[in-house]
Amino acid sequence: MYLCISGFLLDSSHDDSLKFELDLDSCFNERIVQLLGHKSLNEMSAAEWLLDKEQLTKIAELIG
């Protein structure tokens, strides 16, 4: 199982198609799961989770 971040550009209000998708290397899974406040990757797999700017910033710093 892996984590995938997908989303839209800030100025894409006229276009609702997905703009980017990033599959994260599994070596980051545990740290990202903790960062988002979940107990396990399996727990997170039940849904999609919206990220706020602070969470995105922390994930970006983690993965470089």
d(CA 5, CA 34): 16
Spans of all domains in the chain? 18-63
pLDDT in tens, 5-54: 777 766 756 766 767 777 888 899 899 889 988 888 888 877 778 888 89
8 A C-beta contact, residue 38 and residue 30? no
- Alpha-carbon distances of 33 from 4, 40, 48, 51, 52, rounded to whole Å: 12, 6, 13, 12, 15
- pTM exceeds cut of 0.85: no
